[in-house]
Amino acid sequence: MTGDIIFRLSVRSVRVHLLRSVLAALGIVIGVIAIATMGMLGANMTLSATAQLSSMGNILVVRPHMEGGGGFGPGGGGGSSTSEEAVLTELQFKDLERAAGKYGLVYHLHSTSDTITSGSESRRASIYGMDPEDIQTVLEVETGDYPRSTNDIVVGPTLAERLGLSIGGRVKIGKEETGQHTVRVVGILKQRGLSMDINSDQAVLMADKLYTSLYGGEGEYDQATVVLENIEDATAAKEAIENQMNKREEVVSVQDSSRMLETITSTLGTLTAFVMAIAGISLLVAAVSIFNVMMMSVTERIGEIGVLRSIGTQKPEVRRMFVYEAAILGVVGAVIGAILSLAIGYLVVLAMTGGTDYFFAPASLLYIPMAMVVGIIICIVSGVYPAWQASNLDPIEALRAE
Amino acid sequence: MARSPVIVLDQVTRVYPMPAEDVVALDRVTLTIHEGDFVAIMGPSGCGKTTLLNQIGILDVPTSGDLFLAGRNTRTMDDRELTSLRLNTIGYLFQKFHLIRLLSAYENVEYPYILKHRKPDTTGRVSALLSQVGIDPSLSTHTPAELSGGQQQRVAIARALINDPRILLCDEPTGNLDSTTGTQIMELLDSLNRQGRTIIVVTHDPAVAAHARRKIVLKDGRVVP
């Protein structure tokens, strides 16, 4: 109950210096908003990416083994994936089909990158060569049709938009100096987003016959993909492929999309932590402001501290009085910050990710209480030294100051 | 019946270290104050009156010598024990009243009660004391800034008495009051002394000292015999 009167004194001290207190708490409000908003933004990005990638989690990508690994995503980065050693042979593909065929569709893929010209516009894009039947199974056409003749191609929606391509239009593949081949656009694919097997949004897709006539490599594939019927089979299928093909030496490397998901969430996590750390700087500035206000409060109340001590107030009670004062500023700032974080966070998430589907998910809202706790702790820590200083004042010196 | 000693100073010296030369504020002061005494400590400015009062009020510790308060040697006590002894045994009256400006008159009186009993006063003692010192109930919600000097000193007396201390220490209690109010305050102290409370007043006002039954005169930190 002693705490009650000590707490009352702290509340009144905050109220007496209302403007000063509000300004100090404002720092905490800003800090809490910054941390909570950044945290929620990161959480929403992660949740949204996870949801998108999970829907594509039924994919195993098999690539020829290369020393030193090799990154995610199909070739097309620089055309080097067509190098002679890094290919899957027809025989290896048959092996793969034997091992993984029972788990779902297995298809092969040629890939490189080249210059695409339409009118005066030129752009580098990924080129994929696939069995025409596989194109129909794996990819969806938004407008137009699938390739029927060896001169037909379908293009991704982003590439079509950037080059201004339309159905029936003609484009040239290859550089002018090394020879160009004119093909006809028969279809524009549906937006597919980021994927492990084919990034079709900015690519050209053609029948494998056309591909090999342009780039060679018949019976030599850059990549094979297993589209699992059941996502739970991912580990079993991966093991079956490795047992079949990598028994004696490492012939292929198998990547399943769950690892990609892990990488992306971990990258987003790191990014979120980094941005939150930057936001945390605002809380540090707030801490300095709280510290300053508390030191002023101690200095102004030296005489009062002397009186309190002389009439029997123990040192820990004096300390508590100032820690309470800092905590009040922290709690008020954190509560206001939390309320504003809901509104500002919602707007920021909407602006940055284009949707708020995951805003009210626990993993997203969690950042509000987290930021509040950080804000309050920072306030209390800022009040500890002034409180300690107040409690250690010599009562006689303090009385003299009154 | 012999009265028991409540304050005993044995060769108490207080030296303030200064860069040029140490200042001896109290020089081997030895004195005994008994239960129920009314003592005035007098002397010119800088003679060590307030230093002596601070020693008796255990706000300060002697450089050498011993101080016994209510039979206990204060030298062996830590800060927590000294603070607790102040709370339970000593009541203070200051020249500038020193009420807590953030608390009402009632709360100022109740504050030491809560410190001691760890709960608010439900016995009506605070209100009774306020009316005993002449504070109208309508003033009990006022803050010190809303009270006159005399009213503030009355509230301060009620605060000093709330935990029923054996000793009341007064540092120039009428120094900031007009003579009529000063007289009223001194009459209040007289009546408290008649009830058996030990009162020690530091003053340079002979009119105030006239209320005391014993005078201790200090000069250069020493008790004048």
> Complex ipTM, two decimals?
0.91
| For A317, nearest residue in chain B (alpha carbons) | B115
Q: Which residues of A touch B114 (CB under 8 A)?
A: 1-2, 4-5
Q: Which residues of B touch A307 (CB under 8 A)?
A: 94, 98-100
End-to-end CA distance of chain B: 26
Is A256 within a domain?
no
Residues 4-43 of A with CB under 8 A from B: 4-5, 8-9, 12-13, 16
* Binary contact (B102, A12; C-beta < 8 A): yes
| For B91, nearest residue in chain A (alpha carbons) | A311
Domain boundary among A174, A208, A229: A229
Is A237 within a domain?
no
Q: Are A84 and A181 members of one domain?
A: yes
Domain boundary among A173, A204, A229: A229
Tell me the nearest-neighbour CA distance from A369 into chain B, angstroms.
33
Q: Are A220 and A369 members of one domain?
A: no
Banded pLDDT at A79 (limits 50, 70, 90): very low
Q: Are A25 and A83 members of one domain?
A: no
* Binary contact (A307, B100; C-beta < 8 A): yes
Q: Which residues of A touch B167 (CB under 8 A)?
A: none
Judge whether B207 is closer than 8 Å to chain A, CB to CB.
no
Is A296 within a domain?
yes
| For B87, nearest residue in chain A (alpha carbons) | A312
Q: Are A82 and A48 members of one domain?
A: no
**How many CA within 13 A on the CB side of residue A66?**
18
Q: Are A186 and A332 members of one domain?
A: no
Q: Is the pLDDT of residue B9 over 60?
A: yes
Average pLDDT of the segment spanning A279-299: 90
| For A310, nearest residue in chain B (alpha carbons) | B59
Range of B171's domain? 5-223
Tell me the nearest-neighbour CA distance from B206 into chain A, angstroms.
25
Q: Are A15 and A78 members of one domain?
A: no
User: pTM of the full predicted structure?
Assistant: 0.72
DSSP assignment of B88-156: HHEEEE-TT----TTS-HHHHHHHHHHHHHSS---SSHHHHHHHHTT--GGGTTS-GGGS-HHHHHHHH
Q: Which residues of A touch B54 (CB under 8 A)?
A: 396
Asked whether the CA dihedral B206, B208, B211, B213 is positive or negative, the reply is negative
Q: Are A103 and A193 members of one domain?
A: yes
Q: Which of B60, B84, B119 sits opposite A1 (nearest CB)?
A: B119
CB B94 within 8 A of CB B156: yes
Q: Kindly report the CA angle at B192 between B188 and B196, in degrees rounded to 5?
A: 160
pLDDT tens string B148-175: 999 999 999 999 999 999 999 999 888 8
How many angstroms separate the Cα of A52 from the Cα of each of A48, A105, B74? 6, 21, 75
Q: Are A69 and A167 members of one domain?
A: yes
Judge whether B111 is closer than 8 Å to chain A, CB to CB.
yes
Q: Is the pLDDT of residue B1 over 60?
A: no
Banded pLDDT at A341 (limits 50, 70, 90): very high
Average pLDDT of the segment spanning A361-382: 94
Is A254 within a domain?
no
Q: Kindly report the CA angle at A272 between A269 and A277, in degrees rounded to 5?
A: 125
Tell me the nearest-neighbour CA distance from B108 into chain A, angstroms.
10
* Binary contact (B114, A311; C-beta < 8 A): no
What is the predicted pLDDT for the residue at A255? 82
Judge whether B15 is closer than 8 Å to chain A, CB to CB.
no
| For B159, nearest residue in chain A (alpha carbons) | A311
Q: Is the pLDDT of residue A81 over 80?
A: no
Longest dimension (CA), chain A: 101
What is the predicted pLDDT for the residue at A76? 42
Q: Find the range with the poorest average confidence among A68-72, A211-215, A334-338, B178-182.
A: A68-72
Is A393 within a domain?
yes
Domain count, chain B: 1
Distance of CA A399 to the CA centre of its chain: 59
What is the predicted pLDDT for the residue at A258? 67
Average pLDDT of the segment spanning B27-36: 94
Q: Is the pLDDT of residue B56 over 70?
A: yes
Tell me the nearest-neighbour CA distance from A396 into chain B, angstroms.
7
Residues 34-93 of B with CB under 8 A from A: 54, 57, 59-60, 79-80, 83-84, 86-88, 92
State the CATH number of the domain containing residue B154. 3.40.50.300
Distance of CA B128 to the CA centre of its chain: 21
Q: Is the pLDDT of residue A70 over 50?
A: no
Q: Which residues of B touch A310 (CB under 8 A)?
A: 57, 59, 86, 92, 98
Average pLDDT of the segment spanning B5-26: 92
Range of A66's domain? 59-229
Is A242 within a domain?
no
Is A372 within a domain?
yes
Domain count, chain A: 2
Phi, psi at B107, each rounded to 5°: -65, -35
Is A248 within a domain?
no
Q: Are A284 and A137 members of one domain?
A: no
Q: Are A327 and A297 members of one domain?
A: yes
Q: What mean pLDDT value characterizes chain B? A: 92
How many angstroms separate the Cα of B81 from the Cα of each of A383, B7, B55, B87, B111? 26, 17, 15, 10, 19
Q: Find the range with the poorest average confidence among A57-66, A71-80, A167-176, A227-236.
A: A71-80
Q: Are A118 and A163 members of one domain?
A: yes
Asked whether the CA dihedral A244, A250, A251, A254 is positive or negative, the reply is positive
Neighbours of B131 (CB within 10 A): 13
Q: Are A208 and A149 members of one domain?
A: yes
